[in-house]
Amino acid sequence: MAGAVQAADGVATPDGTDVNRLSLEELTDLKITSVSKREESVGEAAAAVYVIDGADIRRSAAETLPDALRLAPNLQVQQIDSANYAITARGFNSKETANKLLVMIDGRSIYTPLYSGVQWDVHDVPLGEIDRIEVISGPGGALYGANAVNGVINVVSKSAFDSQGLAVDAAFGEADGHASIRHGGLIGEAGAYRLYASGLARRSSFLPSGAETGDELEGGQLGFRTDWRLGADSLTVQGDWYSRSIEGGPVGGDFTGGNLLTRWTHAIGETNSLELQAYYDRNIRHDLSGLDSDTQTWDIALQHAFTAFEAHNVVWGAGYRFIDDEVISPPGSIAFLDPEQRDLYAASLFVQDQWRLRPDLTLTLGLKLETGTFRDIEPLPSLRLGWRVNDAAFLWAAASRAVRIPSRIDRNLTFPGFLEGGGFEREELWAYELGYRGQPTDNTTLSVSLFYNDYDDLRTADIGPGFTFPLRLSNTARGKTWGAEVWGTWDVTPMWRLGAGLFAIEKDFELKPGSRDISGIASQGDDPQFQATLRSQLDLTEAVDFDLSLRAVDDLRTTPAYVEADARLGWRLNDRVELSLGGANLLGDKHFESDNAGVRRQVGRTVHIGLRWSY
């Protein structure tokens, strides 16, 4: 649950009243949509969900979307170099294995079919335009389909109606910084628009020796959003275009892309609605290594929500996605995708029923059927039970199935004489969860989630009979993980809130009989056994606030445990101007966060001065 709420201009409400934090009651009643694909309060959601709201981000030292995701205690974030991150929930983290987390921006999936992950070096959102980020740890396959295995992230931007006027947000340090400008206005009596431009520069990462790698990131982004309210209908049209450049290092190159999304919603009475969403996305990459890729995605989805027999809140829908993916290896490369160009598709149908058995007890049954390239029809069921014990306590339990479908690398990567493609099938998860959410006292909140995950058909690299080459990517591993996620808040005084989080995991993986895997089940990733976070939000005066975040991360196979701190001091000069001093990774000059094989990099300390101005 989040800790603060932000006014539309990022500094104060239109009447000049500063809004710093949600009350604990408001935290419980905060509305989300990602758990059930319809609006519900956090306090009634039968899932492990954490919400980062706009003011949480404003009061942090975050400069990019991955930085902001560190605020969620149920995510594990590893920065690999200046631009790349490995982000996951409930394990399987590393650049190559963080492939079980579905990430969406305003309902648009940013999954890459190349390796089933997210290219964090190109996907970003102006942080001042984010309304909230809904982070669900645990499977979401019954609603979102394949690859929503260990969690779902949905970044929700503000409506154009909430982004009126002119606003500037900038922060600059010795080696990095960001700046954005936004202008919003009305279109007649029914519409509103927002235009923005942003730029970003990130400092180089460091070699194990401490020398800079030269992988500085620079980039810019342009975008717009329009919203229309036409009686029972609402319409959103939005789009973005970006360009990124990484000067050197093992992942350098030039990357461009853009997207266009439209969403129409028709309200039918107070509880029923019909929604149609479609988007186009393109991502073009030219790596310094000579690898070129061009991925185009077309997606359309229909959703209908209605109430039946008073006790049943039903949502059902269908979707179709088509991807034109082309990956061309450097001339003379001995490893390549075969074929280089491939058309991919996914078609799905889902239904979910929230059945209120009695006023305090809700049973949610969901099922998604999905088919597409590389797999037959996959049934993805879920069952969730929520019990409102009293006004201060909510218990929930869930059981669900999810799968990760093969990526292009899984099925088409070929290295003649060494690696042969074509043998990998989908990975499977059966997950079981138990949770509590509530207010133990008048000034505290607490969320506890326990999970047990049973994985099958995990990816392996199997050598041929008699230990002969070529290798084949196969599905001859299985395993179990179990653990806990705990977070809560304590209002020490009306001016001071503390928040804490703890994530702990245990893993037990094994090879199936007959497996000839030589990778050591590398697909399980590399995860710390625990991660602890502590955040202090202190209003020193009505105009000055100080925020401090600490995180302690256990060691990986070759990376030692570390403790780091981020901090920000903000001063609102008036209703329209705010100055800040912020910094990240303040406790050490530089440190490792990832065991990424072959390209181990350290990330360094950053300090910046910021300005937010609105008119």
What digits encode the pLDDT tens for the residues 291-336? 899 999 999 999 999 999 989 999 999 999 999 999 999 888 888 9
The fraction of the chain above a pLDDT of 90, given in percent, is: 80
What digits encode the pLDDT tens for the residues 32-71? 888 877 788 887 889 999 999 999 999 999 999 999 999 9
pLDDT above 50 for 248? yes
Residue in this structure with the two tokens 């717009």, named with its chain if needed: 224
Tell me the C-alpha distance between 399 and 433, whole Å. Answer: 6
Q: Tell me the residue ranges of DSSP E strands in 465-561.
A: 468-493, 496-511, 530-539, 544-553
Residue 27's pLDDT band (cuts 50, 70, 90): low
Mean pLDDT of the chain: 91
Query: What would the mean pLDDT of 413-417 be, rounded to a whole number?
Result: 91
What digits encode the pLDDT tens for the residues 250-275? 678 999 999 999 999 999 987 899 99
pLDDT number for residue 4? 32
Whether 42 contacts 28, CB under 8 Å: yes
Domains of the chain by range and CATH? 24-614 (2.40.170.20)
Phi-psi region of 145 (alpha: psi -120 to 50; beta: other; left: phi over 0): left
CA distances from 325 to 281, 282, 284, 353, 448 (A): 12, 10, 10, 36, 41
What digits encode the pLDDT tens for the residues 184-242? 999 999 999 999 999 999 989 999 889 998 899 999 999 999 999 999 999 999 999 99
Tell me the C-alpha distance between 357 and 387, whole Å. Answer: 10
pLDDT above 60 for 597? yes
Whether 399 contacts 383, CB under 8 Å: yes
pLDDT above 70 for 173? yes
Strand partners, 499: 489, 535
Strand partners, 194: 184, 225
pLDDT above 60 for 14? no
Residue in this structure with the two tokens 């982070």, named with its chain if needed: 135
Whether 317 contacts 306, CB under 8 Å: no
Tell me the C-alpha distance between 161 and 584, whole Å. Answer: 33
pLDDT number for residue 22? 60
Cβ contacts of 554 within 8 Å, gap of 6 or more: 528, 529, 530, 531, 561
The fraction of the chain above a pLDDT of 70, given in percent, is: 94
pLDDT number for residue 375? 86
* Phi, psi for 66 (deg, rounded to 5): -60, -35
Query: What would the mean pLDDT of 455-476 be, rounded to a whole number?
Result: 93
pLDDT number for residue 60? 94
What digits encode the pLDDT tens for the residues 532-565? 999 999 999 999 999 999 999 999 988 999 999 9
Structure tokens at 87: 């982000």
What digits encode the pLDDT tens for the residues 351-371? 999 999 999 999 999 999 999
Element (H, E) at 378: strand 375-390
What digits encode the pLDDT tens for the residues 77-125? 999 998 999 999 999 999 889 999 999 999 999 999 999 999 999 998 9
Half-sphere exposure (Cβ direction) of 164: Cα atoms closer than 13 Å = 11
Q: Please name which of 49, 54, 34 lies closest in space to residue 126, comparing C-alpha atoms.
A: 54
Tell me the C-alpha distance between 60 and 570, whole Å. Answer: 10
